[in-house]
Amino acid sequence: MFDGNSGRLAVPDTTVTKTVLEAARRHAVRDGDRPALIGSGRRIGFARFVDVVPAAAVGLARRGVRLGDVGAIQVADACDTALAVHAVTAAGAVAAPLPAGLPAGELARLMNECGARFLMTGAGAEAGPALAATGRSRVRQVFAFGDLPGATPFARLTGGPEGTGPPPLVEVSVDPLRDPALHLHDPPEDLTHADRLADLFRLGGAAGVVEGDVLACCAADCSVPTWLGLMDLCLTQGATFAGVPDADPAALLAAVDAHGATLAVVTPEKLRALAYGGEGAARRAEVRLLVTGTSEPEVVRACRKRHGWPVTFLI
């Protein structure tokens, strides 16, 4: 997995991260500074993403992360989520996203159930319970997007500030049909690289994301595989993924305006709120809504009449 002589890591063509990196690299060549990911107060361009992920994977390997290790991930920011999941996967490990807002005891239980050996967390409100949970688990290393006592800053994994580390090759011996890339907690389930790639292609067909699109999405409005899959879809298609930090419909409309979104993900309940609620229309002339479930035809018609926005279903 890791060659100490060359300081390089390699990933076969069949992993989900290799697929995403290769596509994102093509977009980086054309317009590397264009935002690929927008989080809470920060943006990451395509060029920075394709530099940071493999460099961070090398940093993880140097710190003892091995093929098949499970890494718990609890971060709220969309940029940090994409970097964490793909760095872990590129290192040959298994990403295990944990839900926000749980107490330390419940987080420790989930860490033990999935066999997590290391943790990636943010520097926000999620950090306290996550760090406390490690003391009751088998987690032995903590990496943080920010400065936390006892944690290694994520930027240090790259050999310096994000994006300035060496550009290593990525390569691990992974069986895409058997080896897990993602561990889900509810219900407990492992998704292989093949599963994640199939989900990426399914979302691509349903969402119709094209280069230059901006997709606004809140993590609370979709499942973990869909949240990550939509990020990957934007990275592969040359679109921008804009994370919405709040599940309130008004926050979605604000994000649509702020980022010039052309697509927005909504639940059936949020679609109804947009159709009949008190939230005014965003200033943008047309936004295609991607609904994560089924909805009554009259709700779809009411939303189209009020906002002029077409509706597509992601199921």
Fold of 16-188: Rossmann fold (3.40.50)
Burial of 33 (0-12, 13-18, 19+ CB in 10 A): exposed
What is the pLDDT, as a whole number, of residue 281?
62
**Which tokens hold the place of 215?**
């997709």
What is the pLDDT, as a whole number, of residue 284?
60
For 154-158, 165-169, 246-250, 264-268, which range has the lowest pLDDT when averaged over its residues?
165-169
Q: What average pLDDT does range 61-68 have in this prediction?
A: 92
Which single residue is written with the structure tokens 């419940």? Answer: 106
Q: Is it the case that residue 13 has pLDDT exceeding 70?
A: no
Under the banding of pLDDT at 50, 70 and 90, the label for residue 315 is: confident
Own/partner long-range contacts of 189-197 (Cβ < 8 Å, ≥24 apart):
190/94, 191/225, 193/14, 193/15, 193/16, 194/14, 196/16, 196/225, 196/228, 196/229, 196/232, 197/14, 197/16, 197/19
What is the C-alpha to C-alpha distance for residues 102 and 65, in angstroms, rounded to an integer? 26
Q: Is it the case that residue 165 has pLDDT exceeding 90?
A: no
What is the pLDDT, as a whole number, of residue 41?
81
Under the banding of pLDDT at 50, 70 and 90, the label for residue 1 is: very low
What is the pLDDT, as a whole number, of residue 8?
44
Q: What average pLDDT does range 268-296 have in this prediction?
A: 85
Q: What average pLDDT does range 284-292 have in this prediction?
A: 87
Does the fold of domain 208-313 match that of domain 16-188?
yes
Q: Is it the case that residue 118 has pLDDT exceeding 90?
A: yes
Q: Is it the case that residue 16 has pLDDT exceeding 60?
A: yes
Identify the CATH number of the domain defined by range 208-313: 3.40.50.980
Q: Domain ranges in the chain?
A: 16-188, 208-313
| Phi-psi category of residue 84: left, alpha or beta, with phi > 0 → left and psi -120 to 50 → alpha | alpha
What is the pLDDT, as a whole number, of residue 103?
92
What is the pLDDT, as a whole number, of residue 14?
72
Q: Is it the case that residue 126 has pLDDT exceeding 80?
A: no
For 60-74, 94-108, 238-252, 273-287, which range has the lowest pLDDT when averaged over its residues?
273-287
Q: Is it the case that residue 2 has pLDDT exceeding 70?
A: no
φ and ψ at 289, to 5 degrees? -90, 130
Nearest alpha-carbon partner for 15 in 167, 172, 239 = 172
**Which tokens hold the place of 150?**
């006892």
pLDDT digits (tens, 9 = 90+) for 233-279: 999 999 999 999 999 999 999 999 999 999 999 999 999 999 998 76
What is the C-alpha to C-alpha distance for residues 217 and 196, in angstroms, rounded to an integer? 19
Under the banding of pLDDT at 50, 70 and 90, the label for residue 282 is: low
Q: What average pLDDT does range 198-203 have in this prediction?
A: 94
Under the banding of pLDDT at 50, 70 and 90, the label for residue 11 is: very low
What is the pLDDT, as a whole number, of residue 20?
95
What is the pLDDT, as a whole number, of residue 171?
59
What is the pLDDT, as a whole number, of residue 265?
98
Nearest alpha-carbon partner for 169 in 67, 25, 66 = 25
pLDDT digits (tens, 9 = 90+) for 209-230: 999 999 999 999 999 999 999 9
